Amino acid sequence: MKTKKLHKKMSVCLVILLISFLGFSQEKTSIAVIGIDCKGIKLDNISMGNLVRLELEKANMYEVLDKYDVSNILKDNGVDANNCFGKTKLVKVGEMLKVDKILTGNVDKFGEKIIFVLRMIDVKSQKIERTNVMEYLDLQEEIQTMAKISLNNLIGIENDPLLVDLLINYDLLVSSPKTTVKLNGPRMGASFTTGDAAKRLSASKDEGGYNMFPVTSIFGYQYELQYLSSGDFQALIEVIGAISGLEAGNFIPSISLMNGFRFNRNGWEIGLGPIFRLAKVAEGYWDEDDNWNLASEMPEGASYDIINGIDNRGDYQVSTSLIIAFGKTFRSGYLNIPVNIYYVPKKEGSTIGLVFGFNIAKKQRRNGDKL
């Protein structure tokens, strides 16, 4: 009987000890937010500290010391809360506040980035226990979300990956002549036209032609705008204005808009897009002898297919075609020499051309301005 009572008492004691242990284990670690230094952002040190404290309280993992308690205790000890940044001083402040941890850090705007640094200092061991550094896009209206992401990283709470992707500023590639090539500059070369278009160009001016050879000169200028760069690869918009036919006393302007893809290491590139030409065009037809005639000269009762063709007696019109170009850039020091072959397919006569140019790769200042 006594043995049963003894066992019962021991069981009660164990239950009491277990409840006490669980209650003790659930006691939260105390922490104070001190010394969040801010530079270049809209919030000051106090506001930023309050924002970090708010997110820390929402995490519900620590016993966060109230900001008024912090202010009163530091004031009573003659300590300026706005001048507490070094680890040694923060440890002393933690001892004054009687907390286990101190959360500190700094938020700086650097160029087009906002750099968020948070540190957790263990007061007893006087060591920095954890550090988290994040680089965000300069979106100051999202500063509270940045504080939440950085704090979660520091205390081990998983963030929403999509939210992080929207704000994070991933490292950009180094921009140098090996990763970025700009080939703005003059272009010159020659083109060869085939088919009926070649017949019209080489026909005499009395017949509405241009009295030109099928092979004609090209002079122009290329301007390009890069919209994507990833290591060895570039994607860019190329605008090329050119004139041809000067050797025959003609002026035939054109402009090409190409989407180009370039591999900087070996210099190869390919591009395609529309080309617009301004030339005189008239309605006409090809007779059974393969001669070109104006539609107004068609005999009565004759039946021919009326088409628009190149004719010096017609009116100026803008024609559109597709241009496909392939080329390679040769380099000698800072000198770039691009050489390109292009093809313009058309039913009435395709054009094949070869153009080359040159430019000098310019050095840049640190702020990106060219010398």
**Sign of torsion over alpha carbons 258, 263, 264, 267:** negative
The residue ranking higher by pLDDT, 13 or 249, is 249
Give yes or no for residue 371 having a pLDDT over 70: no
- pLDDT, tens digit, 9 for 90 and up, residues 62-71: 999 998 988 8
Average pLDDT over every residue of 66-88: 85
Amino acid in the structure at residue 174: V
How far is it, in rounded angstroms, from Cα 135 to Cα 117?
Answer: 9
User: 83-122: string of b/e by CB count within 10 Å (b at 16+)?
Assistant: ebeeeeebbbbbebbebbbbbbbbbebeeeebbbbbbbbb
Mean pLDDT for the stretch of residues 234-258? 91
For the chain, list the strands marked E by DSSP: 30-39, 63-64, 101-110, 113-122, 127-137, 185-193, 215-230, 233-244, 252-263, 268-286, 292-294, 307-310, 315-332, 335-344, 351-357, 359-360
DSSP state of 179: T
Between residues 169 and 222, the one the model is more confident about: 222
275 by DSSP, 3-state: which? strand
Q: Which of 125, 76, 128, 137 is nearest to 104 (CA)?
A: 128
pLDDT band per the 50, 70, 90 thresholds, residue 259: very high
Instruction: Work out the number of other CB atoms within 10 angstroms of the CB of residue 284.
Output: 24
Picking from 107, 109, 79, the residue whose alpha carbon sits closest to that of residue 91 is: 79
For residues 325 and 340, the answer to whether their CB atoms sit within 8 Å is: yes
Weakest mean pLDDT among 99-108, 323-332, 357-366? 357-366
Q: Domains (ranges, CATH) in the chain?
A: 29-167 (3.40.50.10070), 185-293+305-360 (2.40.160)
CB-CB contact of 96 with 123 (8 Å):
no
The yes-or-no verdict on residue 117 having pLDDT over 90 is: yes
266: helix, strand or coil:
coil
pLDDT beyond 60 at 365: no
pLDDT, residue 35, reads 83
Task: For residues 205 and 312, give the distance between their C-alpha atoms in angstroms, rounded to a whole number.
Answer: 7
Residue 290 DSSP one-character state: S
Helix (H) or strand (E) holding 152, with range, is: helix 143-155
CA distance 278 to 165: 48
pLDDT of residue 25: 44
pLDDT in tens, 87-104: 888 999 999 999 999 999
Q: Break the chain down into helix, strand, coil percent, rounded to 5.
A: 30, 45, 30
Compute the average pLDDT of residues 38-61. Answer: 92
Burial group, residue 336, by CB count within 10 angstroms (0-12, 13-18, 19+): buried
Global pTM reads 0.53
pLDDT in tens, 295-323: 888 888 788 888 888 898 889 999 899 99
The SS3 assignment for 339 reads strand
Q: Give the CA radius of gyration of the chain.
A: 38
Q: What is the pLDDT of residue 266?
A: 83
On whether the CB atoms of residues 339 and 189 are closer than 8 A, the answer is no
Q: What residues have CB less than 8 Å from 91, skipping those under 6 apart?
A: 102, 121, 123, 126
Mean residue pLDDT of the chain comes to: 85
Q: Is the pLDDT of residue 16 over 80?
A: no
Number of other residues whose CB lies within 10 A of the CB of residue 155:
17
